[in-house]
Amino acid sequence: MTTTTDTRPPSLIRATGFGYFPIALLARLPFAMMVVGVLTLVVSARGDIALGGLNSALTGLGTAVFGPLIGAAADRLGQRRIVLLCGIVNSLALVAMSWVVFSTLPDAVVLAVAFVIGATAPQVSPLSRSRLVGVITRHLPEDRRAKTFNGTMAYESAADEIVFVFGPFLVGLLATTMNPAAPVIGAAVLTLIFVTAFAYHRTGRALTGADGRPERVVQAAASELFHIRVTTVTVGVLGMGLFFGAMLTTLTSFLADRGEPEAAGLIYGVMGIGSAIFALAVAWFSPRFTLRARWLTFAVILVVGSALLPLMDTTGGVALALALAGIGVGPTLVTQYSLGAERSPLGRSATVMTMLGSAVIVGQSASAALVGVLAESAGTAAAMMTPATAAGIVLAAGIVNWFLGKR
């Protein structure tokens, strides 16, 4: 009797199983549908655009406040039970929204449900990054870790770009072909199916010792989360969120002036597609092109693309500026998340990843609101200056990070 031994070198896909990646991709889709879905539903059901915007803002606020707490709980208790609990409660909240918004209950109740939807949103994207970093560290030989880590962060950022382009498109498709509640109910169903599958995937198991009991969690002090090496990355990611909100709001104002506001999503997608492509390209960068050099390089491209925006007076020109900015977006985010993973204090990887994810949401929500007020009061020309300002924050944080890296 002969036995065969698998002599193939270990890889991330073999360590996780191929099924992990489609599950993790689809599990983050409901999150990309929530904010736009809630906005569409509230505006349709209650006929109040301002109320719809406020509900979307509260959904984002709930995620920003509770996202890091969910990450901290996952670090302490393991991802499986936390993700499963969030998925169940979030699905119920989404279904509740589809009923409450058509009821005679006051607007305050609708706003409260929107906040709960955001607060219980399963943090699939940052938790997936945390899982994969752990798998790479535990299962891959040291000489393969750096390249695999680089490619993994590139894939994760590209996956985020894909779902955040496709999610709003799916919301629009369901809302127009079925009814305004369909996107929210669809997000609830997707959450129950794929977030549950993500929770139960073997990569979500808590580590166990030789006796089969869960290993004692060893964590660095919480104060380490506020070390300058971590906060610099957080500020950089916050700048990216500010950029996203400013760019989308500015673009909407620009196209509304020309009587075609419905084209905002299509033109914005020019930046998203380019961003995803260049995010994936990071996997092929030479190790000699260091993370701190990448941040500076692509932040400069982001600034240049944003600075060109006020000079454009045609839709084609604006699309060109967005395409150039998109070259800087994806690689900058990949680099920031890579630095966040590297600098996570012991036992607090999920916390840091959810902090970064929340920073994007806080920046996006805040800048969308502020730039919207600016565009309304001072006009589109003033609003078109704001993306470059946000890109400047990203670049400034990258400069600080450069000197931290040298130390």
**pLDDT at residue 386 tops 80:** yes
What per-residue confidence (pLDDT) applies to 308? 94
**pLDDT at residue 187 tops 80:** yes
Supply the DSSP symbol for 31.
Answer: H
Q: What is the average pLDDT across 208-212?
A: 39
What per-residue confidence (pLDDT) applies to 262? 56
pLDDT per position as a tens digit, 233-281: 999 999 998 998 888 778 878 887 887 765 666 677 778 777 878 877 8
What per-residue confidence (pLDDT) applies to 307? 94
**pLDDT at residue 301 tops 70:** yes
* Buried/exposed 227-243: b ≥16 CB within 10 Å, e otherwise: eebbebbbbbbbbbbbb
Spans of all domains in the chain: 20-207, 223-407
pLDDT per position as a tens digit, 137-180: 887 777 777 778 777 877 777 777 777 767 766 776 777 778 88
What per-residue confidence (pLDDT) applies to 175? 74
What per-residue confidence (pLDDT) applies to 9? 61
Report which listed range, 141-150, 339-348, 392-401, is most confident: 392-401
More confident residue, 136 or 87: 87
For residue 114, what are its two tokens?
A: 């929107």
**pLDDT at residue 1 tops 50:** no
What per-residue confidence (pLDDT) applies to 28? 87
What per-residue confidence (pLDDT) applies to 211? 39
Report which listed range, 62-66, 83-87, 208-212, 335-339, is most confident: 83-87
For residue 62, what are its two tokens?
A: 């709930």
Fold classification of 20-207 (topology level): Growth Hormone; Chain: A; (1.20.1250)
Which one-letter amino acid corresponds to residue 369?
A
Q: What is the mean pLDDT of the chain?
A: 81
Which residues are bridge partners to 214 per DSSP? Answer: 208
Q: Going by CATH, does the domain composed of 223-407 fall within 3.30.70.1450? A: no
User: Does 20-207 match 223-407 in CATH topology?
Assistant: yes
What per-residue confidence (pLDDT) applies to 287? 78
Is the Cβ–Cβ distance between 201 and 27 less than 8 Å?
A: no
pTM to 2 decimal places: 0.77
pLDDT per position as a tens digit, 106-131: 989 999 999 999 899 888 888 888 88
Distance CA 293, CA 297 (A): 6
Report which listed range, 41-50, 64-73, 173-182, 255-264, is most confident: 64-73
Exposed/middle/buried for residue 405 (C-beta within 10 Å: 0-12, 13-18, 19+):
middle
**pLDDT at residue 88 tops 90:** yes
What per-residue confidence (pLDDT) applies to 213? 44
Is the Cβ–Cβ distance between 339 and 153 less than 8 Å?
A: no
Which one-letter amino acid corresponds to residue 312?
M
Question: 131 to each of 61, 68, 166, 167, how far by Cα in Å?
Answer: 25, 16, 24, 23
Distance CA 324, CA 225 (A): 34
- How many CB atoms are closer than 10 A to CB 220? 13
Distance CA 171, CA 162 (A): 14
Distance CA 74, CA 352 (A): 11
- How many CB atoms are closer than 10 A to CB 6? 7
Q: What is the average pLDDT across 60-86?
A: 85
What per-residue confidence (pLDDT) applies to 129? 81
Q: Pick from 30, 361, 356: which is nearest to 184 by CA?
A: 30
What per-residue confidence (pLDDT) applies to 302? 95
**pLDDT at residue 19 tops 70:** yes
Question: 279 to each of 25, 124, 212, how far by Cα in Å?
Answer: 16, 19, 40
Helix (H, G, I), strand (E, B) or coil at 1: coil
For residue 230, what are its two tokens?
A: 């971590």
Distance CA 282, CA 151 (A): 7
**pLDDT at residue 3 tops 60:** no
For residue 159, what are its two tokens?
A: 């996956």
Supply the DSSP symbol for 202.
Answer: G
**pLDDT at residue 214 tops 60:** no
Distance CA 49, CA 39 (A): 8
**pLDDT at residue 53 tops 80:** no
**pLDDT at residue 378 tops 80:** yes
Distance CA 188, CA 360 (A): 23
